[in-house]
Structure 1
Amino acid sequence: MRRTNEECKIEFDQAIDYDKVLQQIAGHASFSCSRDAILSAMPLDSHDEIQQALELVKEGMELERKAVYVNFTGCSDIRDAVVRARKEMVLSGPELNAVRLFLNACQSVHRTLNESEAPHLNELSQSMDLCRPLVRSIQEQIDAAGMVKDDASPLLLNKHREYNDVRMHLQTTARDFIKSHSQQLMETVTTTIQGRLCVLVRAQDKNTFGGMVHGSSQSGQAFYAEPRSFVTYNNRLQNINDEIEAEKHRICKELSVKVRKNALALLSDLETMTYLDEAMAKARWAYEKDGCVPLMENNRRKLYMEAARHPLLDPENVVANTYTLNESQYCMMISGPNMGGKTVTLKTIGLFVTLAHAGFPVLCHTAHIPFYESLWFVIGDNQSIENNLSTFSAHISKIARICDNCDRNSFVLLDELGSGTDPAEGAGLAVAILEYLMDRECTVLTSTHYHQVKSFGQTDARILVASMEFNAETLHPTYRFIPGVSGASYAFDIAAQYHLKESILKRAYAFKEENARQSEKEIEHLEQMQNEVHEQKERFRALIEDAHRVQREAQAKKEAMDAKKRDMDENYARELDEMLEEKRNEADAIVRTLRKQKNTKFHEQTEKIHELNALAEPIPEEPAETPKLKVGDYVQLDGLNSHGEITDIRKQEATVSVNGMKMKVKMNRLKKIQRPNVQKKKTELHLLSSKKRMPLELNLIGMHVDEGLRALDDYIDQAVANHVSQVRIVHGMGAGKLRQAVWDDLHHQPAVKEITAAGPNDGGLGATIVTLK
């Protein structure tokens, strides 16, 4: 007999805590419809349906990895409002606003998915009708609080204006009334009774002002009276208010008709948004807990879960295990001591198989799960919050039902098979049931303490024997799954840890030895040898993992250093290019200024030349220590073929006199050198022999004016004699006396054709170019 979904849901909840895991996932949903869909999720009927659901989750996880936020804000369950509109009922302002917010959320999700690389999610979003005219209509007439806007229609706007005008007249009338009758009033303020403006008057004066009386105070000493002068205005306000409410009702009715016309599209959009939010909730849960989308295998038996972790266990302390069954294995048989994790292992595998069939991700690094048409669970321990039936009769009745309905497409989970009755009979039943289920090619997971059952598992190639690791020294479980090794119960050791009397333990051990068969002793010896081999294997594995870890750390450090060096090189090159470009622009600006201003004053030209020379400062590749220099030192300017004497030092900048010009230079660009030994030139110059080469430059720096002029005259004579057409006279800047004297003298030289100041690269104003006739 086929089980109903309700029966399956109860069985899953009791056996594998399915409902608690669904509640955990539903906590990531954005609105009630998707939460309800997750909480009621059950395994799907077809492999194609499962694949479609898992594909949506896979794309959702990729969006989470890329930090693409799919915003469902504004989504709500609008089914009641749509149903009421279809029945031609008038929706309220908040209901209409909820429809608008829902459609705005649809537009947001549609826009986000349209711009993302999620083809299946986008295909779903593209199928929605965004009902833009309906959104505009509601948005124009209903505000964010769900109230009809004052200007929703021309009539409504006029009525609100009229209402405000009448109200202002009423307030003016009330102020005048209070001012003229203050002695007869209990309070000089107005109050509102049933929407009508009133005043509080003394009891003896309640009928003095005409109008109406609306009641008395608690003491009976005062009455709420509406004077005759108030009545007309109050009546008018009430009439206008009724007209306003009627107009609002008309507007809501008109909008409700539009909702009714779009009802089918709205319900379809709600279903689509539920699918999308459900998929994104699953994706957010899996991404947050480092899960994966399982690969659902069809027509294959391979079961593989790498680093599986139960979602209800503490993520900081849970032990990740890898479970696998190959194509030729039909059964996984887990043994080991009580409280060692056997049931948790069965629940984890059963839960992940169920989640995968319901289209959910699982908490594994990788998962391959066959497609099963039916899932069966029999777990009767005390670890479930709600105790299920645990008597042998209930246990065996469930197993009988499984045997009647299972086939090669069934997944069966049996905890402590054969328990609750005589051990010998229970073991026999367990072996017979496992044989029957495997003969029908079911996939079976079971746990056992029986030696006979473990011995059967060791001899049948269709069974993978496994155990949960137990530390024999500390007598504590490690919760690690060990395939290929059957586990001992450690019952005597655990009993000793809980201080059972030694005499009882000795008697129990003797009784066991007396009654143990040779096959059981051999199994125990084999289990001991298997555990020793496994411990050695684990030690080697730990050493190998440690070596790999050290290697990975070293490689990671090397890659980090290489990346840091690349970043530093790129940043330095970029900054260097920027600085060079900036200096080129400044130099171009100065040159353009000098070209435009031919008649610039002397000191302005000097400043521009200083700026241009300063731009020639090289950009240091690395910060260097400031040289220890002092005033009076003779230095070389780094990057320039110039030298001079330091005349002043302020902070990290020195003033250097170079060829009579004073230049401010950074200290790290100066290098101390030997002061040159300048010989004073003889005042009498002899004509150079035609065999010697005529120098094209005369340096007068360091000479007095008279001495320099004599040297200049002799030099010009020699230049004329050697037929030189152009020479350069270096006189420096200084105070300008020597320069002016040189220019005056050259103007009176008959052999001089033209004199001009040298260019920036030839000494600037510190030198003169002389063209001879």
Structure 2
Amino acid sequence: MNRNDSICSSEFYRDTGFDIIRNWLKDNCLCSLNQDFFTQLTPLIKIQKISDVQDYCNEFLSAFQRKNPLPLETIPNISSWIDSLNISGFQLLPENFRELYQLLILSSTIKRYLIKSDFPLWHVNGKNLIISKSCQSEIEKIFDDSFQIRSDASPELKRLTRSISKAEGSIKDTMQKVFIHAKQENWLGGDQIVFRNGRSVLPLKISQKRKVKGIIQDQSSTGQTAYIEPLEIIELNNKLTELHFSLTEEKHRILRELTAFFQPYYNEIQESFNILKYIDQHNTMAKLAYQINAICPEMNENGKLKVENAVNPLFSLVEKKAVSLDIELNQEKILLLSGPNAGGKTVVLKSIGLYALMAQCGLYIPAKKAQFPVYTKFMADIGDRQSMENDLSTFSAHIQNLATIVAEANESSLILLDELGTGTDPDAGAALSRSIMEFFIKKHCTVIATTHLGSLKVWASDERGIINGGMIFDSDALAPTYELQLGTPGASYALEISKRMGLSEDIINRSSELVGDGSVNLENILGQLEKERLVAESLRIDLENREKKLEQIETQTFNKEKEINKAHKKAKSTALLEAEKIILSARREAENLIAEIRVNQADKKTIKKVKDQFQNTLENLQIQDKTAEEEFNSLLESDIQKGSIIYIPHLNSKGKIIHLPDKKNRVRVEVNGITLTLKLAELQRAEASESSESNSKPNISMNKTFSIAKIQIDLRGMRVDEALHETEKHLDSALISGMSFVHILHGKGTGALMEAIHEFLSEQSFVANFHFADEDQGGAGITVVEFE
């Protein structure tokens, strides 16, 4: 990030609230070094650099939006000791190894998380993150979970640990014997063994201190007790001290050896730390964008500034409801804001400054759309600059600040001016303000300024390069709405607000007389314009709502039409396929019959058989032709209602829906008093007249249903799922036709199809019994099904 604060003063950061954004980022980052980074965060001035920051942030923002954010944890700061790793013989401390271990674990976790499909940029940028099981394992061999050196970290350490334990046991046993003897002789000045100067001692009465041979290690504050180290354990304590020295030295040796192990990994560790620090910067920025529901602003070089439905992020961070802001500055680069006090002018001013700063830092903006040019200078004159120390009045302070702004302004400057022309005589202030604004127009600066001066509003209405903006005021409620209206200045409503706040009506009336006709007329005109604008806005909203309703109706109509056309196309395609099947079947039958006639030389019996078969074929063709001629009525969503009458083509019957579709788009239908479960695709819409007739007579008469069921169905050559579907349809047809049994020809083969059929039949409540046919009728290749 650019650390050049010359493009923006600390006052600008403070006045716009950018310091609050910095502090939020500082408090939410996970690397202590990034706290300083965000504290000093300043705008970039190169579009490509801004774009790079945005792109890297966007990958992490997408992860937040997928509810699968980066599993980043606190990044240990290894900067204080990492360079020492290159020093031969240097020894890291246990705390350093704890930080190193955390870094290794975090580096491995993040690298595995940054998959190419979700993080194409970070997948490349994070490829050098260290993943080393051997490094983790080396640390785990030496330290326990609390990062204390393990007692078995080396054979020597293990031996010393055991020796110390044994020596301590010997000291304890010896001391216990001496203690018991002293207690029996009533020499003790206390009731337990104590430690002084790291040694085990006996608390003896001062008068009895010579009863036990040894060294006086300490004496009580009252002088009544002497703490004696018995002669018997002095040698043992000395040995124990030596063992502890040896133990400490062995631990140092182990740490030096472990430090030496990691010296070759210095570059990998250093680079991993830098990558994780860099990741934390962008992840924190993405976290802010996610919290304030922000979008990526578009940066441009043509000077265009535009925001739609933008909300000040300072309000979003504290979950405060705010009125959104819409501004567009293109040809006119100067916006003159006017309106009542506490109407939101200064908030708009500061918001634009804050948006611009955030955009150039690569941060996202809480808006529907945001476009910003790149500014090389941010300047502002906001608030009371009065200084007693420098002998500056309010007006003098403003002029001093304006002099600096005028001197440094250029076409890539963003300038914020609050309460332009105040602090002096209104006429002189207006003239001076106009002159300054004309200077800014010539310099092509982007300026957002607020004012209450009517003459400036009138001038801005006719001047090129500047546009008026008014803060909307509800004249009936005498309260601001905090909305900005571009192109129209805002009235101050000073007298109306004063009246609302309880000021005497006599004073209000006298003020109206003193203010002058010109000012009163201007305020009245602005007020009337605002009322008319509100009426027009209300009509516009009503018109938009009506247009939306019409669009919804058009969309629904279009979708219905698409459904109908799709259904007709499907019906036509199905009919063509059926016709082709019928023609091929008739052709085969005709060829077979002609061949039989030729073989039998056309005797009467053969001719009668041919006539009968042709008659059957003709009847079937007539029936199917009649079905094909019927209009294809596919079910629409509105037709799928409980109680609706539908047509079932493969049963040539009508039925009534008794249960709505389940998750698999299957409905329960009642046909001739029998309940069937069918797929929606197997149903059609019944004709209106037929539906009415059916509604009046719920039970469909059997004599209106043409039976298409046959006694036997041939499933040979079919897949199991296909065969089960055909079996289900055949059983439905048989039930509708009132048949008492059917035959299912499945063949013998491997037996898989037969087993599937039998399992299916066993689950059907309407099947009374099923068994293989007699041997002379097909045996195990045919299953006979009997109905209840």
Could you tell me the TM-score, scaled by structure 2's length?
0.67
CA distance in 2, matches of 1:459, 1:199: 103
What letter corresponds to residue 149 of structure 1 in structure 2? R
2:671 aligns with: none
Instruction: Identify which of 542, 545, 569 aligns with 2:663.
Output: 569
Q: What is the CA–CA distance in structure 1 between the aligned matches of 2:73 and 2:124, rounded to whole Å?
A: 21
The corresponding residue for 1:690 is: none
User: Which secondary structure does the structure 1 equivalent of 2:126 belong to?
Assistant: helix
Q: Distance in 2 between matches of 1:97 and 1:329?
A: 60
Matched, 1:306 2:434: no
Map of 1:435 onto structure 2: 438
Q: Do residues 640 (structure 1) and 768 (structure 2) align? A: yes
> Where does residue 766 of structure 1 map in the other structure?
none
Match of 1:349 in 2: 352
Task: For residue 261 of structure 1, report the CA deviation from its aligned partner.
Answer: 5.5
8 Å contact kept, 1:374–1:410: yes
Decide whether the 8 Å contact of 1:416 with 1:446 is kept in 2: yes
CA distance in structure 1 between the aligned counterparts of 2:479 and 2:106, rounded to whole angstroms: 53
Distance in 1 between residues matched to 2:392 and 2:364, nearest whole Å: 30
Residue aligning to 2:37: 37
Q: Report the alpha carbon displacement of residue 451 of structure 1 after superposing the two structures with TM.
A: 0.9
* CA distance 1:197–1:450, shift in 2 (3 Å): same
With over 3 angstroms needed to count, the CA separation of the structure-2 counterparts of 1:613 and 1:367, relative to structure 1, is: closer
Whether 1:380 aligns to 2:416 is: no
Q: Could you tell me how far apart the structure 2 residues matched to 1:552 and 1:209 are?
A: 107
Greater shift, 238-247 or 79-88, is seen at 79-88
Q: Contact (CA 8 Å) 1:469, 1:487: kept in 2 or not? A: yes
- Partner residue of 2:539? 540
Taking structure 1 as reference, are residues 233 and 479 closer, same or farther at Cα in structure 2, changes over 3 Å only? same
Deviation at 1:317, TM superposition (A): 4.5
Instruction: State how far apart, in whole Å, the 2-side matches of 1:390 and 1:550 are.
Output: 60
Which of the numbers 204, 209, 212 marks the counterpart of 2:207?
204
Once the 2 structures are TM-superposed, how far is the Cα of residue 85 of structure 1 from its aligned partner?
A: 4.7
Partner of 1:10: 10
- For residues 33-54 of structure 1, what are the alpha-carbon distances to aligned partners after superposition, in whole Å with 9 as ceiling and x for unaligned? 2232122101123222211111
Following superposition, the deviation at residue 208 of structure 1 comes to: 2.5
Q: What does residue range 418-567 of structure 1 map to in structure 2 within 5 Å?
A: 418-514=421-517, 516=518, 523-543=522-542
Superposed displacement of residue 423, structure 1: 0.9
**Whole-angstrom CA distance in 1 between matches of 2:200 and 2:384:** 73
Q: Is the 8 A contact 1:292 1:364 kept in 2?
A: yes
Q: Which amino acid aligns with 1:534?
A: R
Matched residue, 2:94: 93
Whole-Å Cα distance in 2 between the matches of residues 140 and 436 of structure 1?
A: 74
Which residue type is aligned with residue 309 of structure 1? V
The aligned residue for residue 76 of structure 2 is 76
1:710-729 to structure 2, matched below 5 A, reads none
Q: In 2, distance between residues paired with 1:389 and 1:341?
A: 28
SS for the counterpart of 1:198 is strand
1:164 paired with 2:292, answer no
Inter-partner Cα distance in structure 1 for 2:42 and 2:220: 65
The separation in 2 between residues aligned to 1:467 and 1:542, in whole angstroms, is 20
Alignment match of 1:618 (pick from 755, 760, 764): 764
Gap change, CA 1:259 and 1:445, over 3 Å in 2: farther
Deviations 1:486-518 (A, max 9, x none): 10000001111222222221121111125x3xx
User: Is the partner of 1:212 in helix, strand or coil?
Assistant: strand
- Preserved CA contact (<8 Å) 1:15 1:378: no
Shift of 1:343: 0.4
Query: Residue 315 of structure 2: SS of its match in structure 1?
Result: coil
Preserved contact between residue 108 and residue 130 of structure 2 (Cα < 8 Å) = no
AA at the equivalent of 2:312: H
Contact 2:205 2:226 in 1 (8 A): yes
Deviations 1:442-489 (Å, cap 9, x if unpaired)? 111111111111112111232221111111122221111222221000
Does residue 410 (structure 1) correspond to residue 504 (structure 2)? The answer is: no
Distance 1:389 1:77 in 2: 47
The structure-2 alpha-carbon separation of the partners of 1:33 and 1:551, relative to structure 1 and needing over 3 Å to count, comes to farther
Q: How does 1:264-279 map to 2 (within 5 A)?
A: 264-279=267-282
Query: 1:60–1:279: 8 Å Cα contact kept in structure 2?
Result: yes
Q: Distance in 1 between matches of 2:468 and 2:285?
A: 34
Q: What is the alpha-carbon distance in structure 2 between the residues aligned to residue 571 and residue 169 of structure 1? A: 84
Deviations 1:287-311 (A, max 9, x none): 12211121212x2222111221112
Show CA shifts across 1:167-189 (max 9, x none): 22222333333344432434553
Contact 2:333 2:445 in 1 (8 A): yes
1:369, distance to aligned residue in structure 2 (A): 1.1
- Counterpart Cα distance in 2 of 1:566 and 1:149: 68
Partner of 1:26: 26
1:56-71 correspondence runs (5 A): 56-71=56-71
Q: What RMSD, in angstroms, separates the aligned Cα atoms of the two structures?
A: 4.2
- Check 1:94–1:760 CA distance in 2 against 1; reply closer, same or farther (3 A cut): same
Q: Are 2:50 and 2:361, in contact at CA under 8 Å, matched by a contact in 1?
A: yes
**Structure 2: where are the runs of 5+ without partners?**
386-390, 560-636, 641-658, 668-676, 679-719, 725-757
Larger radius of gyration: 1
1:421-450 CA-partner distances (Å, limit 9, x unpaired): 111111111111111112111111111111
Over 3 Å counting, the alpha-carbon distance change for 1:613 and 1:36 in structure 2 is: closer
Residue number in structure 2 paired with 1:330: 333
Contact 1:496/1:502 (8 A) holds in 2? yes
- Cα gap change, 1:546 to 1:166, in 2 (>3 Å): farther
The Cα shift of 1:550 comes to 8.3
Q: Secondary structure at the match of 1:43?
A: coil
In structure 2, relative to structure 1, the CA distance for the partners of 1:550 and 1:174 (3 Å cut) is farther
State the alpha-carbon separation in 1 of the partners of residues 536 and 418 from structure 2. Answer: 29
Deviation for aligned residue 1:318: 2.8
1:154 counterpart = 2:155? yes
* Structure 1 Cα separation of the partners of residues 253 and 660 of structure 2: 70
**What is the CA-CA distance between 1:129 and the residue it aligns to?**
4.6
- CA distance in structure 1 between the aligned counterparts of 2:7 and 2:302, rounded to whole angstroms: 28
Residues 85, 432 of structure 1: CA spacing in aligned structure 2 closer, same or farther, 3 A cutoff? same
Contact 2:215 2:230 in 1 (8 A): yes
2-side partners of 1:254 and 1:300: how far apart? 62
Contact map agreement 2:60 2:70 (CA 8 A) in 1: no
1:641/1:76 CA distance change after superposition, 3 Å:
closer
Measured after TM superposition, the shift of residue 84 of structure 1 is 5.0
TM superposition shift of 1:134: 4.8
Runs (5+) with no aligned partner, structure 1: 383-387, 585-611, 620-637, 643-695, 698-724, 728-758, 764-773
2:286 to 283, 287, 306: 283
Q: Quick one: distance in 2 between partners of 1:413 and 1:539? A: 32
AA at the equivalent of 1:533: E
**C-alpha separation in 2, matches of 1:364 and 1:467:** 21
How is 1:658-737 mapped onto 2 (pairs within 5 angstroms)?
none
> 1:37 aligns to what SS in structure 2?
helix
**Quick one: structure 1 residues 614 and 261, their matched pair in 2 at CA, closer, same or farther if it must change by over 3 Å?**
closer
Gap change, CA 1:347 and 1:316, over 3 Å in 2: same
Match of 1:138 in 2: 139
Partner Cα separation in structure 2 for residue 430 and residue 98 of structure 1: 60
Matched residue, 2:652: none
Q: Secondary structure at the match of 1:79?
A: coil
Q: Normalized against structure 1, the TM-score is what?
A: 0.69
- Once the two structures are superposed, residues 541-571 of structure 1 have per-residue CA deviations (whole angstroms, 9 ceiling, x without a partner) of 4435666898999999x9xx999x9994239
Q: Distance in 2 between matches of 1:366 and 1:567?
A: 43
8 Å Cα contact 2:7/2:378 also seen in 1: no
Q: Does the 8 Å contact 1:325/1:464 carry over to 2? A: no
Query: For the residues of structure 1 that align with 2:100 and 2:512, how far apart are their CA atoms?
Result: 75
In 2, the alpha carbon distance for the partners of 1:533 and 1:567 equals 54
Of 394-403 and 539-548, the range deviating more from structure 2: 539-548
Counterpart residue identity of residue 281, structure 2:
E
